[in-house]
C-alpha cells in the first residue's frame, strides 16, 4: 500500500473517530438538555399551580383555582392535576366530579413528606406510565395542601424523541459535511506531504541509475525541504567524487595503454626471433604473456570506452550500411572461440534486409560483445544463433544461446557497470569478464536511438534483443 493511501486512510479514520465522538457527545448533551428543559417546564407549571392554590386558599376563592386547573389541562402531556389537603381530601381537580373525594396513593404519601419540588415516574391505575410532579402549598409557613400534576410519559417522551430525531438529522448532516471536508483536507495534506517524498524517491532512483547530476528543486522550508536540500548536497558531493574517479580511471588507463602497446610489440618481435631463437618452453611462456596482455588491453579499452561514454565524448559516425555482412564477419572472427567449446555458431536473416543508419565499428562492437558473452556462458556442444528480422521502423538483432540463463532477479542489474550475476560466474570455466561489456553495448545502442532488452530462463538460455533504427 502506498504511503499516500496509508496517510489518507489514517487521517480519514482519525477524522471519522473525532466526528463520531463529537456527534455522540452532542447527541447525549442534547438529550440531557431536552430532559432538563422538560423538567424545568414541569417545575414552572407546578410552581404556577402552587401560587394560584395559595391565592385561592387565602382568598377562599375556588373559582380562581378551577379556572387555572382548566388552563393546566390544556398543557401538553397533562393527564390530570389536583390539589389535596393534608388529609387527602381533593380540594381541586381537573375532573370536577372528584371535588371533595378522598384519594390516597403511594405517590401522594411521598408528596406529603416532601417539602419541595418532587418528580416521580409511576404507573397510574390504568397501567399507563406517567410523570407525577408535586409541591407543597404553604400558608403562613404551614403546609396546608399538596399540588399534584400527572404528565403522560408517552406524550413527553415522544416529544423528546421527536426533537432528538431532528437533532440526529442535523448532527448527521453536519457529520457528513465535516467528514467530507476532513477527508478532502487529509487527501490534500497527504498530497502535500507525499509529493516531496516522491520527489526524493525519484531522485534516489536517478542517483541509483548513475545520473549523479540530478537535483531536486527545493520549494519547502520545513523538515522535508531541509532533507531535500541535504540530498542535493550529497548528490553534488557524489558527483564530484564520480568525476574524480572518472578522471583518475581515464588517466590511469591512458598511462597503461602506452606501456601495454610496447609490451605487445616486443612480444611480437620476440616471436619473430628478434632476440634470438626461442625454445619451446620460452614460446609457451610468451604465449601466456601474450594472452594476459591481450586480456588486459581489452580491459583498458573497455575502461576508455566507459570514460568516453560517461563524459559524453563517445564518437558515433553514422552512415547507411548493410548489417548482415558485419554480423557474418564478426561470426567468422568469433568462430575459433566457439569451436574451442564445440558450440554451433549460426546466423539467420530475412531476405531483403533494409540498411540501417549507424556506426559500423560500433555495431561490430555490439555484436562482438554479445557473441562473446553468449559463447562464454554456453556450455560445450551448445548453440548460439544471431537472428535478424525487421520490426516496424527497426531492425531486430537477436543473439540467442541455450546456455546457463540469467535469474529473473538479476535481469535488471546486468546492464550496470561491473555487474556480475551471483552464482553464475563461478560455474563458467575460463576467463571471467569485467562486467563492462553489457553497459558499453547498452550505451552504444541508446546513442544510436535504439534499445536493448533481454529474455532469459535458467538452464534454457538467454536472448539479447537489439533494436536499431532503419535507414
Contact of 446 with 415, CB cutoff 8 Å: no
Q: How many degrees, rounded to 5, is the angle at CA 312 between CA 306 and CA 313?
A: 80
- Nearest 5°: phi and psi at 331? -60, -40
Whole-structure pTM over 0.75, yes or no? no
Contact of 118 with 133, CB cutoff 8 Å: yes
Tell me how far CA of residue 119 lies from CA of 39, 106, 156, 162, in angstroms. Answer: 8, 13, 14, 22
In the block, residue with C-alpha cell 564445440: 342
Contact of 310 with 447, CB cutoff 8 Å: no
Cα gap 35→156, rounded to integer Å: 9
Cα gap 130→124, rounded to integer Å: 7
Contact of 193 with 224, CB cutoff 8 Å: yes
The H-or-E segment that residue 171 falls in is helix 153-208
Cα gap 334→110, rounded to integer Å: 117
Predicted local distance difference test score (pLDDT) of residue 258: 74
Q: Residue 357 has what DSSP assignment? A: E
Which of 246, 242, 260, 244 is CA-nearest to residue 300?
260
Which of 331, 263, 246 is CA-nearest to residue 297?
263
Which of 357, 455, 343 is CA-nearest to residue 398?
455
Q: Strand 383-391 to strand 344-349: parallel, antiparallel, or no bridges (unpaired)?
A: parallel
What are the grid coordinates assigned to 442, written together?
A: 547498452
Which of 409, 342, 431, 407 is CA-nearest to residue 379?
342
Contact of 334 with 277, CB cutoff 8 Å: no
Cα gap 190→433, rounded to integer Å: 48
201: helix, strand or coil: helix
Give the chain's largest Cα–Cα span: 159
Provide the 10 A C-beta neighbour count for residue 53.
Answer: 24
What are the grid coordinates assigned to 161, written together?
A: 424523541
285: helix, strand or coil: helix
In the block, residue with C-alpha cell 618452453: 281
Q: In a structure prediction context, what are the per-residue pLDDT tens digits for the chain, which is 471 residues long?
A: 566 677 677 777 787 888 888 888 888 888 888 888 888 888 999 999 999 999 998 888 888 888 999 999 888 889 899 999 999 999 999 998 898 899 888 888 888 888 899 988 888 777 778 888 999 999 988 999 999 999 988 888 888 888 888 888 888 888 888 878 877 877 777 777 777 777 778 888 888 777 778 788 877 777 777 888 888 888 888 878 777 776 776 676 667 777 878 887 888 888 887 778 888 888 888 888 888 887 787 777 777 777 777 666 778 888 998 999 999 999 998 898 899 899 999 999 998 889 998 999 999 999 999 999 899 889 899 999 999 999 888 999 999 999 888 888 888 788 887 667 765 555 555 555 567 788 889 989 998 899 999 999 888 899 999 999 987
Burial class (CB in 10 A: 0-12, 13-18, 19+), 321: middle
Contact of 167 with 27, CB cutoff 8 Å: yes
What are the grid coordinates assigned to 54, written together?
A: 395559595
Cα gap 361→465, rounded to integer Å: 19
358: helix, strand or coil: strand
Contact of 411 with 456, CB cutoff 8 Å: yes
Across the beta sheet with 90-93, the strand order is: 90-93, 78-85, 142-152, 129-139, 118-123
Amino acid at each position: 500500500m502506498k504511503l499516500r493511501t496509508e496517510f489518507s486512510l489514517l487521517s480519514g479514520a482519525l477524522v471519522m473517530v473525532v466526528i463520531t465522538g463529537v456527534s455522540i457527545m452532542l447527541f447525549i448533551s442534547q438529550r440531557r438538555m431536552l430532559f432538563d428543559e422538560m423538567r424545568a417546564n414541569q417545575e414552572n407549571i407546578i410552581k404556577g399551580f402552587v401560587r394560584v392554590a395559595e391565592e385561592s386558599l387565602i382568598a377562599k376563592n375556588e373559582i380562581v383555582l378551577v379556572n387555572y386547573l382548566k388552563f393546566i389541562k390544556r398543557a401538553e402531556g397533562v393527564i390530570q392535576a389536583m390539589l389535596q389537603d393534608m388529609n387527602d381530601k381533593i380540594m381541586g381537580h381537573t375532573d370536577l366530579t372528584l371535588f371533595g373525594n378522598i384519594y390516597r396513593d403511594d405517590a401522594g404519601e411521598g408528596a406529603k413528606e416532601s417539602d419541595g419540588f418532587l418528580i416521580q415516574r409511576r404507573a397510574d391505575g390504568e397501567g399507563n406510565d406517567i410523570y407525577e410532579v408535586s409541591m407543597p402549598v404553604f400558608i403562613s409557613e404551614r403546609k396546608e395542601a399538596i399540588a399534584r400534576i400527572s404528565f403522560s410519559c408517552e406524550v413527553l417522551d415522544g416529544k423528546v424523541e421527536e426533537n432528538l430525531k431532528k437533532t440526529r438529522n442535523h448532527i448527521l448532516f453536519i457529520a457528513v459535511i465535516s467528514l467530507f471536508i476532513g477527508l478532502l483536507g487529509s487527501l490534500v495534506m497527504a498530497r502535500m506531504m507525499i509529493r516531496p517524498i516522491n520527489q526524493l524517491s525519484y531522485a534516489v532512483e536517478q542517483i541509483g541509475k548513475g545520473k549523479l547530476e540530478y537535483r531536486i528543486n527545493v520549494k519547502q522550508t520545513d523538515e522535508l525541504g531541509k532533507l531535500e536540500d541535504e540530498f542535493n548536497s550529497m548528490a553534488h558531493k557524489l558527483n564530484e567524487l564520480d568525476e574524480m574517479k572518472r578522471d583518475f580511471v581515464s588517466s590511469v588507463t591512458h598511462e597503461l595503454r602506452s606501456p601495454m602497446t610496447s609490451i605487445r610489440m616486443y612480444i611480437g618481435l620476440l616471436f619473430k626471433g628478434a632476440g634470438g631463437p626461442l625454445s619451446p618452453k620460452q614460446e609457451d611462456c610468451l604465449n601466456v604473456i601474450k594472452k594476459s596482455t591481450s586480456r588486459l588491453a581489452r580491459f583498458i579499452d573497455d575502461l576508455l570506452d566507459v570514460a568516453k561514454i560517461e563524459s559524453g565524448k563517445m564518437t558515433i559516425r553514422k552512415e547507411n550500411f548493410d548489417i548482415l555482412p558485419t554480423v557474418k564477419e564478426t561470426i567468422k572472427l568469433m568462430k575459433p572461440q566457439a569451436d574451442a567449446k564445440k558450440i554451433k555458431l549460426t546466423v539467420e536473416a530475412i531476405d531483403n534486409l533494409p540498411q540501417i543508419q549507424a556506426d559500423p565499428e560500433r555495431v561490430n562492437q555490439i555484436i562482438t560483445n554479445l557473441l562473446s558473452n553468449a559463447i562464454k556462458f554456453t556450455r560445450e556442444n551448445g548453440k548460439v544463433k544471431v537472428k535478424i528480422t525487421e520490426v516496424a521502423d527497426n531492425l531486430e538483432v537477436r543473439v540467442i544461446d541455450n546456455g546457463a540463463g540469467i535469474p529473473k532477479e538479476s535481469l535488471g542489474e546486468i546492464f550496470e557497470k561491473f555487474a556480475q550475476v551471483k552464482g553464475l560466474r563461478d560455474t563458467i570455466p575460463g576467463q571471467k569478464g569485467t562486467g563492462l561489456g553489457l553497459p558499453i553495448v547498452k550505451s552504444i545502442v541508446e546513442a544510436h536511438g535504439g534499445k536493448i532488452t533481454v529474455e532469459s530462463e535458467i538452464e534454457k538460455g538467454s536472448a539479447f534483443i537489439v533494436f536499431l533504427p532503419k535507414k
